[in-house]
Amino acid sequence: MRVRRRSRRHADNRVAAWFTRPSARVGVVSALTLGVVITVTPASGAAGDIATHVARAVRGLVSTTHTGKNIAGTAAVGALFTSSDGKLGSHFCTASVVSSPHGDVAITAAHCVTGLSGTTIAFVPGYNLGKDPYGVWTVAKVYVDQAWSSNSSQDDDVAFLRLSPQTASSVPIEDVTGAETLATSTAAKQTVQVIGYPDGSDEPISCRNWTSQPMSNQLEFDCGGFTDGTSGGPFLADVNAATGQGVVIGVIGGYEQGGLTPDVSYSSQFGPNVAALYTTAVSGG
């Protein structure tokens, strides 16, 4: 029931109810904080698995999931919707505005916008409980790397979106919401805030924790509640306490298209390909 392709599959009521319960990690963390020591003699080959689970539990000690409109940074982070005749459909992924010369670029996961040719996509920054405090912005063009287009490379699960100004206005979105800063080739291990919009909720969730590098060109982020719909949510480093804005070093996607459980999320590690794709997007190519 917890296995999912984060950008498409919608959780049923039973799964949604399960997500409202404390996760199994809470029990692990409680045991650790109470000083309980469990000595385990693993079978041959199991020591690595145990070490991995313990490491994730320890990293989880600094993580706290928040929900609601007061999450720092959500002015530039929002939900992606399908749209028809000016009416919004369901939100299915997350995106965030990134600073650009023309102020009209957002970033998400490539798998979020794959297979949507001919579909109108709308971005609603700061979306909360049905409200669109910064308006609705139509995606004019989608940019993905050739490596993603040709073979869905997990290392290139990143897309940039060029956003049209709202009707009767030439003001770019960045002038309305502010923007996160894009960075590539950053350290694999650092503290980030991750924001996303679960399919089953009209409020964003946010969590702060350390990233790790489980494999080449991938980042891992451990925190509960990141279900379908959170794909494309930004990994924000160096978040400014006053503005809530940070540096995007990843988006939920990559390995397993972002992860098969709500507690472990992944991102492609941004490198030269992302930098080149950004250059293409801001030039309007």
Instruction: Please give the pLDDT value at position 17.
Output: 32
Q: Is the domain 77-179+275-283 a CATH 2.40.10.10 member?
A: yes
61 vs 109, 176, 210, 224, 237, CA distance in Å?
Answer: 28, 36, 10, 12, 18
Domain boundaries, the chain: 77-179+275-283
Instruction: Please give the pLDDT value at position 71.
Output: 63
Q: List, for residues 157-183, the tens digit of each pLDDT value.
A: 999 999 998 877 789 999 999 999 999
Binned at pLDDT 50, 70 and 90, residue 66 comes out as low
Instruction: Please give the pLDDT value at position 64.
Output: 57
Neighbours of 181 (CB within 10 A): 14
Instruction: Please give the pLDDT value at position 167.
Output: 75
Instruction: Please give the pLDDT value at position 224.
Output: 94
Q: What percent of the chain has pLDDT over 70?
A: 74
Instruction: Please give the pLDDT value at position 51.
Output: 44
Q: List, for residues 208-242, the tens digit of each pLDDT value.
A: 999 999 999 999 999 999 999 999 999 999 999 88
Question: Alpha-carbon distance 21 to 244, whole Å?
Answer: 28
Q: List, for residues 24-38, the tens digit of each pLDDT value.
A: 222 222 333 333 333
Instruction: Please give the pLDDT value at position 241.
Output: 87
**Per-residue tokens: 272:** 């030269």
Return all residues near 157 (Cβ < 8 A) that are at least 6 apart: 109, 110, 111, 148, 251, 253, 254, 257, 258, 268
Summarize the confidence of residues 32-57 as an average pLDDT: 42
Instruction: Please give the pLDDT value at position 69.
Output: 52
